């Protein structure tokens, strides 16, 4: 088992990514650009956590965690747009928003621990 697989934040990011992917596949009304950007942003969270955990210096790790957190923010901006465009109902928006917020806070704590 790789070290990142033991991280709670990684497991939560993976679960979040799966939920986003399921929603993207189920909703045929997404335009290809939004669908692709959301898919990439949600995947980026877990991938940057994984890659950051492989780095030896705190500065390198921190950089990847900062990118992962930025991707969580990007997801929230896409969710906000999708809600406005009626592509995301209020309940799903709130659920994804809260999960994004939790991931952001967890990643922020990891970043602060490396400063």
Q: What is the dihedral of CA 65, 70, 76, 80, to 10 degrees?
A: 180
Please report the domains of the chain, with CATH numbers, ordered by start residue.
3-114 (1.20.1440.60)
- Mapping DSSP to helix (H, G, I), strand (E, B) and coil, where does residue 87 land? coil
Residue ranges of E strands in 32-89? none
Q: What is the DSSP letter of 56?
A: S
* Tally of CB atoms within 10 A around 23: 18
Closest CA to 58 of 3, 112, 1: 112
Q: Within 13 A of 24's CA, how many CA atoms are on the CB side? A: 22
State the pTM of this model. 0.94
Q: What is the mean pLDDT of residues 95-112?
A: 98
pLDDT tens digit string along 6-24? Answer: 999 999 999 999 999 999 9
CA–CA separation, 43 and 14 (whole Å): 8
Residue 71 has pLDDT above 90, yes or no: yes
**Per-residue pLDDT tens for 28-45?**
888 899 999 999 999 999
| Tens of pLDDT, residues 77-90 | 999 999 999 989 99
Pick the closest to residue 19 from 96, 81, 98 (CA basis).
Answer: 96
């Amino acid at each position: 088992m790789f070290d990142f697989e033991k991280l709670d934040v990684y497991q939560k990011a993976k679960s979040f990514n799966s939920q986003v992917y399921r929603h993207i596949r189920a909703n045929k009304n997404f335009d290809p650009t939004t669908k692709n950007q959301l898919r990439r942003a949600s995947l980026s969270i877990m991938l940057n956590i994984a890659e950051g955990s492989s780095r030896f210096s705190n500065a390198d790790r921190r950089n990847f965690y900062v990118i992962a957190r930025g991707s969580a923010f990007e997801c929230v901006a896409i969710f906000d747009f999708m809600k406005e465009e009626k592509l995301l109902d209020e309940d799903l928006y709130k659920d994804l928003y809260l999960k994004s917020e939790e991931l952001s806070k967890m990643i922020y704590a990891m970043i602060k621990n490396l400063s």
